[in-house]
Structure 1
């Protein structure tokens, strides 16, 4: 069966699939930022985490509309998500935020590849914003955010595992045996 291409030469099924993955990642990010914000309390990072949470909620809603525009049904958020490590304070809250943004950047990179026109532009903007926040929360940037082929194994920020600085991102892993949310890197409870 021949693939039907959209008017811009893009495969509409690939775009729908990538948009659904981006929405799943945004659902996980909204949840994760809620946890991070609660752990940060009223500390210095709380306002920044709250602002990022609001941005992910807006992107989530826009992606749901886009999926409907593409003729699909937006996937619902899970009731909860398994986090890659315990989040109890400002440090671990920022480490989770960095992990969330790294995962979100990856799905937006996929959406940039799968879409065209305005959808591609919006995905590229979302990728850039996720990369900037990931760099902010990690304390350093990566050369090609969202592109796994260029990532250093074991750490999305490019640090070697176990660098001894106490940063939680070097050890961040989803629990073994937990199903993962597409593109988000976190399991569903």
Structure 2
């Protein structure tokens, strides 16, 4: 049972790391297209995801595994030609990140669970700021709608 729980936590941590890699990439696109009024918000989100990515790298190592590497590039879930699309992309990234952290909250224990809960909360707050709306249980209700190709909820899909 304990070993199974460990594997589940590791898989969820790797998924959270993959989502953070995708979010960092996605926010590079958001930052390049968002209007001046939201540029600071995009930069702060980018920095937050870089910090969470680094924390997830440490968490995966602490769980005894090699952290998954970022893809060279990611396919975005939709075209992002302008500032409005950039805002929609930012909200989508946050919803996808929230979904994987919800999984990590369920799978992890101790300090990692607390960190996952904090990351889920932060992503949910950013999603509300970008989209202007919220859901009762961020990361859960919209899970089915926000899964990418192959059921991956992590964000933009790696390009082959």
1:181 CA drift (Å): 8.3
Give me the whole-angstrom Cα distance separating, in 2, the residues matched to 1:108 and 1:18.
8
Question: Normalization by structure 1: what TM-score?
Answer: 0.78
Instruction: Give the C-alpha shift of residue 89 in structure 1.
Output: 2.1
CA spacing shift, 1:68–1:153, aligned 2, 3 Å: closer
Match of 1:184 in 2: 154
Q: CA RMSD in A?
A: 2.1
Counterpart for residue 15 of structure 1: 9
Conservation of the 8 A alpha-carbon contact between 1:181 and 1:188 = no
Corresponding residue number in structure 2 for 1:138? 131
Q: 1:75 aligns with which of 43, 68, 79?
A: 68
* Map of 1:31 onto structure 2: 25
In the alignment, structure 2 segments of 5+ residues that lack a partner are none
Any gaps of 5 or more consecutive residues in structure 1? 157-172
How far apart in 2 are the matches of 1:33 and 1:97? 7
Deviations 1:91-139 (A, max 9, x none): 1111100000000000000000000111111000000000011111111
Supply the distance in 1 between the matched residues of 2:39 and 2:103 (Cα, whole angstroms).
Answer: 30
**Based on CA coordinates, which of the two structures has the bigger radius of gyration?**
1
- Matched residues, number: 159
